Structure 1
């Protein structure tokens, strides 16, 4: 068991909650995948997703009714659910949505829902429930983890709005004072970075105050030689991870969405001259403050350390959805997969060093190099 599995979480009776929920979710996932199959879709990715969804159902059922060792069954359930995530994500990337229309009561309208997106999301939950079953997490443990994940996901999403609000607070008086009726794209980027720093910093400090943490909760210290080694190695691993994911995407024909900044840079490459230093001074430090030093560290109280890295990275990826909403859902999911992979590296750097400066510097330098490359292309 991990260091965060408590007495009320442990034991075969307690962990029945995870397998019971997993069975239901895997069954709904399989049903969602079977709809496009019944419609005549013969895409191999969809068929594979359906097969693995069935395997996940059987694994969760075997854990509950066949007397099979729960850890072995949980591994099969988690791996099968992960395969559904990958194959359904690939199907979405190829444009297979399997949309159904659900009538909205009283309004007379309809709600269009992609069953493949539903299967993708539910299979992700199945991965987590399989992991919970493996570690014997019971009903109270699942509830505690779900509530904390929801709370911290909300914190991350609020961070987006707070940054926008802070930008307005900074921009309006500044532009009036300087007599600038129509700011340029470069001026807007400068103001948005100031707003992000102000808003994100205030949100992080406000949350820590609400949770009755003092400023010592922020892991900020002069880097040691060990920290420097982790930072250099982390930057290399970060670009290596990007290369491997990009190679995999190219080999499999997966298309990803461009970050919104890329579109802006094509029209006004000068904004990159602001974003390069801002990456190191603002983006890296303040995003890592919120997502690593606050969110990931808070997750340590209910998840194992590496479990917190994974869950924190899921939150980090979800919050970045809006930045990549420049294409269809399949391309967006592919881009968020990249964000998730890179966030895992940053989360491990923070977990290993417990020094905010390490992931902040690596994140900032990584972004600065990417922005610098874009400037060479568009500048």
Structure 2
């Protein structure tokens, strides 16, 4: 969780003054419990034994366990006033982030483990997957401890995160509903549709679905069109668009290099697979990137969700939270392989979303991330055909 810009219910207090308060104690206790659970789930594969020859996997699991141990010690020291908030918070958050990254790497490498649930009939859950989720919670609680957030503020921020994810899920459902509604008259008028026509119909449903959710969200919070940041791009905006596009490709190349160097693999986007099978789809896909995907995804996630989160989080905190939601809802686009490959792809999406969120925050003009987003996608799909 991230500190607010002054709109929270409780002003930020000095970490030393909140150690003994019951409200701060709740956050610290929760952090200790979650970190301890993370430590337990991280160590499960070691207790169950690693497969022969899985030296790299075992090393990843050991490193994940040690990172979780550091987070637990940080919260333990904070809980018993052995560490100060400005020390324990960053240490816990940093250890949680390392736990998150290492557990993701372990999952990609095939190290999972299993945790039996004390409920009859339920299947065991992969321990590394649990570690990954719990590690994310440790990061948030560590930041909350560093910022001396109250339990109420932690709850409020968590609910806003859940809301952002729910909006993204509603967007996916709205697209599916719009596709079904549009398909009925399309098939009635045209009969069997070609692959190009189906692709065109899907992008029309994409615009209707995301546009409807964005409009509904604004209506729910009683916001009018003045909330939308639409303006003729200035030279400064053009500079941010170009710079953002460059950084997007830097992030993509850097992420690809890291994955290659560490032996990780990522799943292919469903649209990339479709273009590989039928390059003619580019006649529809390329214009759609600029006219539909870029504008409508940025409308919902940046101008609607991210901007609304400014009321609860700091501006850069809102960028991070929105990027979490943005990455999660893209899971269906990469659901072509196992959990490890999917996780690596979503990590890349998260990094790219941070760039788009930042250039929107800096320019406050929806067209800037929309153009950068559309151009980035268009170049990627074109390269699939050319290479």
| TM-score range normalised by the length of the shorter chain | over 0.9
How much has 1:273 moved relative to structure 2? 2.2
CA contact (8 A) 1:18 1:130 kept: no
Q: Distance in 1 between matches of 2:63 and 2:381?
A: 38
Task: Supply the distance in 1 between the matched residues of 2:328 and 2:291 (Cα, whole angstroms).
Answer: 24
Task: State how many pairs are aligned.
Answer: 372
1:212-250: CA deviation from partner (whole Å, max 9, x where unpaired) = 000111111111111111111111111111111111111
How many Å separate the matches in 2 of 1:244 and 1:4? 36
1:130 is matched with which residue?
142
Cα deviation digits, residues 96-116 of structure 1 (max 9, x gap): 1113454764xxx44241110
Match of 1:318 in 2: 328
In structure 2, do the counterparts of structure 1 residues 9 and 196 end up closer, same or farther at CA, with 3 Å as the change threshold? same
Matches within 5 A, 1:348-359: 348-359=358-369
1:8 aligns with 2:10: yes
Aligned to 2:99: 84
SS of 1:303's partner is coil
Q: Given that residues 276 and 385 in structure 2 are in contact (C-alpha distance below 8 angstroms), is that contact kept between their aligned partners in structure 1?
A: no
CA distance in 2, matches of 1:260, 1:306: 30
CA gap of 1:376–1:282, structure 2 versus 1, over 3 A, is same
Give the C-alpha shift of residue 69 in structure 1.
1.7
2:76 to 44, 58, 61: 61
Distance 1:239 1:226 in 2: 20
Pick one of 217, 239, 256 that aligns with 1:246: 256
The match for 2:43 is 34
Cross-structure match for 1:115? 127
- Matched with 2:59 is 44
CA distance in structure 1 between the partners assigned to 2:291 and 2:327 by the alignment: 22
Q: Secondary structure of the equivalent of 1:196?
A: helix
- Taking structure 2 as the reference length, the TM-score comes to 0.93
Q: List alignment gaps of at least 5 residues for structure 2.
A: none
**Distance across 1 between alignment mates of 2:100 and 2:171:** 27
Counterpart position of 1:170: 182
Aligned partners of 1:100 and 1:115 also within 8 Å: yes
**152-161 or 15-24, larger mean C-alpha shift:** 15-24
- CA distance, structure 2, for counterparts of residue 295 and residue 339 of structure 1: 17
User: In 2, are the aligned partners of 1:5 and 1:137 still within 8 Å (CA)?
Assistant: no
Which whole-Å CA distance do the structure 2 matches of 1:225 and 1:366 have between them?
A: 20
Distance (whole Å) between structure 1 residues aligned to residue 247 and residue 306 of structure 2: 20
Q: Is the 8 A contact 1:241 1:342 kept in 2?
A: yes
